Structure 1
Amino acid sequence: MLGIDVGGTGSRAALEPLDAPFGNDRRLLEGGRVAVASAGSTVLDVAAALVEATTREWPDVAITAIGVGATGLASLVSAPDAAIGRFRAAPDAPVPVALAVDALTAHLGALGGQAGAVVAVGTGAIALGTDLDAVWRRVGGWGHLWDDRGSGVWVGIEALKAAIRTHDGVTTDAAALLSAAESRFGPAPTWPGELLTRADRAGVIAGLAREVAALAADGDAAASAIMRTAGTEVASTLVAALDPELPRRASWTGGMFGAAGAYRDAFEAEFARLAPGADLHAPLGTPLDGAVRLARLIAAGDVPAQHPPFVWR
């Protein structure tokens, strides 16, 4: 089976045998970054390129099922169902395929197929509460211009906003953020031309979150405030996905949770405040694990029925 995870800053494929225990004998490939322009997202191109790269890398392997989890699939791709044939034709023989929003594969990875809510926070941020049957509740994931609360791109944008205020003399508290941003992107006056014109600007700006997290860990007040606010925003997104028809079970996944300290502390405290009595579980696996689980479900005939805008078959 082939599982593919396409996020805002990169993509990965995992190939593993159906008859082996989950995660065993896994082969991995890295793919490209998604771009978003007037024609929409290139997410399907990135995923299809990974399928083709897999068949080139391991031509002797027969792919029996493909599970794809992809960012922006529901909002930036006009007809995901029309693209399924593209993936079926990619291997040597037609195989069953499921395309899913990244929130679903994140859910499958973090909760291992159990009902509940999961928030995925990397470049963007989205939460999904589901039992993989009757309940499907999406919260967030509407893009970096007005949403993706607490995500990498949100943290990056907040850092740039604080940095430019200090650059302009409006404040004096974000000198470290200004220095970090200029080290990554160049002098502040060049940022509009360097960043706003890029089709992959969300992923590029999200890269700044690493420096913000490091500054917060070193005690910088402005960076710490951004990371604390980000953690509380992500907690509120996750709690909103806990549909009343679901068990009070939740988890998280994504690269932003590698930022300990202020971010994680604020996330856990706000979740406990907003959802007393709910169980917050450490994730069982990653979104790529979830894509492989989706492929396994397809191969076994247990995949959820087509349920746009979450999964297409």
Structure 2
Amino acid sequence: MHPDGDLTPRARQGVLKFPREHGVLAVDSGGSGLRVALGTAGRGALAQRSSAVPVRTGGRGIDPAHLMEQLVPLVSALAAETGIERLETAVVGAAGFSTLGDSLRATLPSALAREFGVRTTALAADAVTAYVGALGQRPGAVLCAGTGLIAVGTDLRAWRRADGWGHLLGDCGGGAWIGRAGLEAALRAHDGRSGGSAALLAGAQEQFGPMPGLPGRLYPRPDRAAVLASFAPKVAECAPGDPVAAAILRAAARHMADSAAAVCPAGGKPSADGAAYVAVTGGLLKMGDPLLVPLDEELARRLPDARRVPAEGDPLHGAVRVGAALATDALILPGDQTMMYVVKHTT
């Protein structure tokens, strides 16, 4: 067995043979599965495929063997589709990499080198690829707002992150946080306590059934965060006519702006690296004006000197960008064991 562990599938003999063009492999691994793109440094992503099976996480963290098991057929199909001649660079953005990435760091770069001939591999937290997808290689901060909430920022010398601690300890202002606050207001109305919302109570009963049964339907579920987040759109729907729901979204906006301010370089003021930019990405943007209007106000208040810009792309786009920059020796983002780890093979 190879000292890094045998991650190469046995079903196929040999290594994939790519034609002559330098190829870039980009991977976005998250809770909903894998998205994979193949492209070149000059032309970007040419084609992409996906798997709906999330990569397993075990006692040693994210499972690199399971990732490779899914990756090989996807890459083989993409290589045939695009005609890319060889894979030189690979970028894998993975949810949980910062805290669960030890096995990936130890074995995945060598596995990609053996299987595809990759000579340079970057392993990154998905928040980092989300940052690069949104802002490219510019200093600033990106709020990744979905079921959870994490902010990532850089001054191009080091990475900073805020929140992202999960729905029990943090993710303040994220979808699960909003949904939980909305359900608490519904339960307050059910009990006759102050701070309740009749509108949210009606919405909760429509979505989850009678309130006395809600704890039994929610607490045992392994996907509690997603269930809580599923109520966030109802909070946004009620907000225009319900002061309790509107207050929840204003509080969420304050939490989000707090996290952005914590990671934005120099408080959003221009530096030697140029202006600091702020972007927001993720599914929470679909909630529209009830959240985005107070968020814009809070970001303007907390980061008056930063430039608010729309996100240019998503985490897979960010992985493609990192790969292209590596392939052309143009990467200026900071390296970091837990945020973005780059390995170059000499043979």
8 Å CA contact 1:33–1:46 kept in 2: the answer is: no
1:65 alignment partner, SS class = strand
2:97 match: secondary structure: coil
- Cα distance in structure 1, aligned partners of 2:56 and 2:204: 22
How far apart, in 2, do the equivalents of 1:40 and 1:162 lie? 39
Q: Determine which structure has more spread, i.e. the larger CA radius of gyration.
A: 2
Counterparts of 2:29 and 2:249, CA distance in 1 = 25
Matched, 1:196 2:250: no
Q: 2:145·2:282 contact (CA, 8 Å) conserved in 1?
A: yes
Q: How far does residue 292 in structure 1 lie from its aligned partner after superposition?
A: 1.6
Amino acid at match of 2:214: W
Distance 2:241 2:114 in 1: 50
Could you tell me which of 279, 283, 287 is aligned with 1:251?
279
* 1:125-155 per-position Cα deviation (integer Å, ceiling 9, x unaligned): 11111144x2222111121112111111111
Match of 1:308, as an amino acid?
Q
1:54-93 aligned at under 5 Å gives the runs 54-55=74-75, 57-58=77-78, 60=80, 63-85=87-109, 88=112, 91-93=115-117
What residue in structure 1 maps to residue 178 of structure 2?
155
Q: Indicate whether 1:264 and 2:286 are aligned.
A: no
Match of 1:280 in 2: 308
The RMSD of aligned alpha carbons is 3.1
1:168 matched to 2:188: no
Shift of 1:263: 0.9
Quick check: 1:108–1:287 contact (8 Å CA) kept in 2?
Answer: yes
User: Please, which runs of 5 or more residues in structure 2 have no aligned partner?
Assistant: 1-23, 343-347
SS of corresponding position for 2:39: coil
Alignment CA distance shift 1:292-1:179 (3 Å): farther
Equivalence for 1:226 = 248
Match of 1:238 in 2: 260
Deviation at 1:77, TM superposition (A): 4.4
Larger mean CA deviation between 224-233 and 265-274 belongs to: 224-233
User: With structure 2 as the length reference, what TM-score do the two structures score?
Assistant: 0.76
What secondary structure, in the 3-state scheme, does the structure 1 residue paired with 2:180 have? Answer: helix
- 1:210–1:48 CA distance, 2 compared to 1 (3 A): farther
> 2:147·2:175 contact (CA, 8 Å) conserved in 1?
yes
Q: Is the 8 A contact 1:31 1:50 kept in 2?
A: no
User: Deviation at 1:109?
Assistant: 0.8
* Unaligned residue ranges in structure 1 (runs of 5+): none
For the pair 1:312 / 2:341, whether they are aligned, the reply is: yes
Partner of 1:118: 142
Contact in 1 for aligned 2:128/2:339 (Cα 8 Å): yes
| Alpha-carbon distance in 1 for matches of 2:111, 2:325 | 17
Give SS of 1:100's match: strand
Give yes or no for contact 2:48–2:78 (8 Å, CA) kept in 1: no
| Equivalent of residue 40 in structure 2, options 4, 8, 18 | 18
Does the CA contact (< 8 Å) of 1:2 and 1:13 recur in 2? Answer: no
Rounded to whole Å, the distance in 1 between the matches of 2:104 and 2:302 is: 35
Q: Which amino acid aligns with 2:75?
A: T
Q: Residue 175 of structure 1: CA displacement? A: 3.2
Q: Normalization by structure 1: what TM-score?
A: 0.83
CA distance in 1 between counterparts of 2:337 and 2:280 reads 23
Q: Which amino acid aligns with 1:275?
A: L
Identity %: 33
Deviation at 1:70, TM superposition (A): 2.3
